[in-house]
Amino acid sequence: MIPYGRQEISQADIDAVTEVLRSDFLTQGPVVPRFEQAVAKKVGAAHAVAVNSATSALHVAVAALDVGPGDVVWTSPVTFVASANCARYCGADVDFVDIDPETFNMCPKALREKLEATPEASRPKVVIPVHLCGMSTPAAEIAALGREFGFRIIEDASHTVGGAYKGQPVGSCAHSDITVFSFHPVKIVTTAEGGLALTNDPGLAQRMSLLRSHGVTRDPALMTHESDGPWYYQMVELGWNYRMTEMQAALGLSQLDRLGAFVARRNVLADSYDSLLSGLPVTAQARQAETLSAFHLYVVRLDLSQTAPHRTVFERLRDAGIGVNLHYIPVHLQPYYRGLGFGDGDFPEAERYYAEAISIPLYPGLIEADQDRVVASLREALVP
C-alpha cells in the first residue's frame, strides 16, 4: 500500500533523539526552548510555546484569549475535529462558516455575510481559519473582518508549516493573534506527537506557557504575594500538563533543518500531479496568488457526472494498493456536533466537498514511479 502520507526520519534525527536520551533531562530541559526559538525565528514570530499536540496548542490558545461559557468560536466545517473541539473544552459554543468550493478553505465572503446576519451579542469572540492542505486562507481579508467586527483570530496552520502568504511565512502572526502548528507524523515536520503556538503578544505567550504546565509559576513577578522561600511556586490559574518532551523537541529541531527541502519536494510532486491529472474528470485545490502551499495534502474533487460513484472510486483505489484518505468528514455532521443541533444541509459547500473529495498520496519520500502508479490507478478507478 502506498500510504497517503508518511514521515521521513534521517540518521541525524535518530542521533539527535539518542543524544537527549543520554543527557540529564528527558523533559523540562534546554532542548524545548531551543526548538521554540528555532521555530519562532524561522517563521518570524516573536514567541513560540511548544506543547504535546496541536490539539493542546489550540486549547491553550483559546483559553489564553479568555474564551469561556457564553462565548462563541467559529471555524471551518472542513477540518479535523480538534479545530472546533478546543472551544468546547472551554465551555464555549461552536459554529461554522461554509467553505469556498475552489480553495476548500473558509470562504471570506460567507464569513462576512454570516457576521452581518448575526446579532452583535452572538458574534464570535474568536474565529479559527484552517489553512487546508497547506494553503493559507486569505488571512489579510479575515484579519480586516476581525478589526471590523471585533473578533480575535487563531490560525490553525497544522497543515501549513513551511507555507507562505503575501511574502511572509505562515506562523508570523501578521494577520492573527496566535498561529498553531502540528507535528504529527503525517504533517510537514514531525515530533511524533507535538504542536506549537506562535504569537507576537508577550502576554499571550506567557499565559499559554503557564497553561501548558498546570498554571504553575516560579516567577516572583507573576505571584500574588512574596515567595515563602527558595522552594516556592504558585498555581495562579487552572492549567494542564501539555508539555513537550526533550526527545520530541530534539526530533523537531533536527527535522526543522529539512523543512525547506520537504516543502520544495512536496511542491514538485504537486506540480507533477497537476500535469498528470490534466484531462481527467477531477479538480485540485485552486492555487492562490501570493500563496506558497506547504502541500500537506493533495485533494482531488471528482466530477461525479463523469466518474464512477465517489465511494466506488475510493474502494477501487484502496483495492489497488493506493492509500487514499478523506480529509475531512464535515465536523458538523459528527454525532457529537449533531447532538448540539447541527445537521444535514447546514453547510452545503462543505457537504458537497465531502461527497467528492479524495486525498491521494503525497509525502517527500514518494517517488515518481509511485506517483505514476497512483495516477494510473485513479484513471482506472474513475471509469463509470
Ligand X SMILES: *Cc1c(COP(=O)(O)O)cnc(C)c1O
Environment class of residue 43 by beta-carbon count within 10 Å: exposed (0-12), middle (13-18) or buried (19+)? buried
Q: Work out the number of other CB atoms within 10 angstroms of the CB of residue 190.
A: 21
The C-alpha atoms of residue 238 and residue 211 are separated, in whole angstroms, by: 7
Q: Does 255 bind ligand X (CB under 6 A)?
A: no
Shortest spacing between CB 131 and ligand X, in angstroms = 8
Q: Which residue, 171 or 378, is less far from ligand X as judged by CB?
A: 171
Q: Which residue, 191 or 199, is less far from ligand X as judged by CB?
A: 191
Residue 15: HSE in the Cβ half-sphere, 13 Å Cα cutoff? 4
Shortest spacing between CB 83 and ligand X, in angstroms = 5
Q: Which residue, 79 or 136, is less far from ligand X as judged by CB?
A: 79
Stretch that binds ligand X, among 147-155, 156-164, 165-173, 237-245 (CB under 6 A): 156-164
Shortest spacing between CB 3 and ligand X, in angstroms = 16
Stretch that binds ligand X, among 153-161, 171-179, 219-227, 366-374 (CB under 6 A): 153-161
Coil/strand/helix, residue 41: helix
Shortest spacing between CB 219 and ligand X, in angstroms = 28
Q: Does 83 bind ligand X (CB under 6 A)?
A: yes
The C-alpha atoms of residue 342 and residue 320 are separated, in whole angstroms, by: 36
The active-site residue out of 41, 109, 166, 187 is: 187
Amino acid at site 63: A
Q: Does 59 bind ligand X (CB under 6 A)?
A: no
Q: Which residue, 16 or 189, is less far from ligand X as judged by CB?
A: 189
Shortest spacing between CB 87 and ligand X, in angstroms = 13
Which one, of 185, 179, 66, lies nearest residue 129 by Cα? 179
Contact 246, 31 (CB under 8 A): yes
Coil/strand/helix, residue 105: coil
Stretch that binds ligand X, among 30-38, 75-83, 207-215, 258-266 (CB under 6 A): 75-83
Q: Does 190 bind ligand X (CB under 6 A)?
A: no
| Among 54, 135, 196, 294, interactor with ligand X by CB under 6 A | 54
Q: Does 243 bind ligand X (CB under 6 A)?
A: no
Residue 156's DSSP bridge partners are 130, 180
Q: Which residue, 79 or 377, is less far from ligand X as judged by CB?
A: 79
The C-alpha atoms of residue 135 and residue 161 are separated, in whole angstroms, by: 10
Size of the site for ligand X (CB under 6 A): 14
Q: Does 53 bind ligand X (CB under 6 A)?
A: yes
Coarse DSSP helix, strand, coil percentages of the chain, rounded to the nearest 5 percent: 40, 15, 45
Q: Which residue, 31 or 78, is less far from ligand X as judged by CB?
A: 78
Shortest spacing between CB 130 and ligand X, in angstroms = 5
| Among 17, 72, 130, 313, interactor with ligand X by CB under 6 A | 130
Q: Which residue, 7 or 53, is less far from ligand X as judged by CB?
A: 53
Helix extents (H) in the chain: 11-21, 31-43, 54-64, 82-89, 108-117, 139-149, 202-211, 246-256, 259-276, 310-319, 335-338, 348-354, 368-382
The C-alpha atoms of residue 191 and residue 52 are separated, in whole angstroms, by: 9
Shortest spacing between CB 379 and ligand X, in angstroms = 28
CA 139 centroid distance within chain: 14
| Among 77, 146, 195, 364, interactor with ligand X by CB under 6 A | 195
Shortest spacing between CB 81 and ligand X, in angstroms = 8
**If you write DSSP's letter for every residue of 152-208 in order, what string do you get?**
EEEEE-TT-TT-EETTEETTS-TT-SEEEEE--TTSSS--SS-EEEEES-HHHHHHH
* Exposure class string for 143-181: b at 16+ Cβ within 10 A, else e: bebbeebebbbbbbbbbbbbbbbeebbbbbbbbbbbbbb
> Is residue 109 flagged as an active site residue?
no
Q: Which residue, 236 or 333, is less far from ligand X as judged by CB?
A: 333
| Among 175, 184, 207, 332, interactor with ligand X by CB under 6 A | 184
Stretch that binds ligand X, among 20-28, 91-99, 151-159, 161-169 (CB under 6 A): 151-159
Positions marked active-site: 187
Site of interaction with ligand X (CB under 6 A) = 53-55, 79-80, 82-83, 130, 156, 158-159, 182, 184, 195
